[in-house]
Amino acid sequence: MSNSSKKINLIIASVAATIAFVVLLYFFVFNKSAQFEKLIISADKNFASNQLDEARQLYNEALQIKPDEIYPKKRISSIDSVFNVGEIMERYTEKLNQADMFFSQGKYVEAREYYFEALNINSDDEYPVNQIRKIQDLLDEVGMEKDKRSKPEPISVVKKGLFFHIIVGVFEYNQNATKLLQRMKDEGRPSRIIERKDLNMKAVTYGSYNNIHEAYNYMLFVKEGFFDDAWVLYDETN
């Protein structure tokens, strides 16, 4: 075989190898993208039908194919948020049910503690607040009746102390909480930071009060003029 023939054969072999490589690369990339799209479509269907466990698994499988894709990461984050809210509301409902049971049995002190615990989980619901107010009125009434008869030590609504706090910010990082605290201090507010150890968060107070009536009445003022997302936390540990 002549040298020119060998060169032609080498060129042909080289071109063939290049074409084969390009075809394989295209097939691999195309197949990878096709698998990714198929998983995303299936995951989205599960997400839309509220089958969140299945959707999360499919989004994770899609991420294994394309780890840098943002969309499945956002969907997984949304699902995790739903799961977290569900767990929180389950705890909240459990505390309310226990509180309602004690209230129906006339065990008002025990009921009050569970309403406080429920309130600390979900501060947006007025129901535990109203129940605590009812209990406060009932306990005050019982205390006054006993006081008229035998002058015993009156029944207190809560332990003495500023345990009702108007919260104007909750932060994961200490520097953010400190920044808001300093702002409150500069405005002359008796603010402080309360450690939410169960959530690993730091809550900044606008002020603290010794009864629920005062705290909630003042919270309305704070929401209107300063912080529209202010809420009341009951905490006697700090």
Please name the helix (run of DSSP H) or strand (run of DSSP E) that holds residue 207, with its range, or none: strand 201-209
Q: Read off the pLDDT of residues 74-123 as tens digits, 9 standing for 90 and up.
A: 888 888 877 777 788 888 899 899 999 999 988 888 888 888 888 777 77
Tally of CA atoms within 13 A in the half-sphere of 63 that contains its CB: 15
- pTM to 2 decimal places: 0.46
Tally of CA atoms within 13 A in the half-sphere of 208 that contains its CB: 16
Greater pLDDT, 142 or 148: 142
C-alpha pair distances (Å), 201 with each of 167, 184, 196, 204: 12, 18, 5, 10
Flag whether pLDDT at 164 surpasses 70: yes
What one-letter code names the amino acid at 179? K
The per-residue pLDDT of the chain, averaged, comes to 78
- Under a CB-based contact definition with an 8 Å cutoff, are residues 193 and 202 in contact? yes
Q: CA 8 to CA 108: how far, in whole Å?
A: 98
Q: CA 37 to CA 40: how far, in whole Å?
A: 5
The label of the residue with tokens 């700090």 reads: 238
**What is the average per-residue pLDDT within 5-27?**
62
CATH number at 164-234:
3.30.70.1070
Q: Which pLDDT score is estimated for 238? A: 54
Residues β-bridged to residue 232: 166
- Under a CB-based contact definition with an 8 Å cutoff, are residues 177 and 166 in contact? no
Domain ranges of the chain: 3-68, 85-150, 164-234
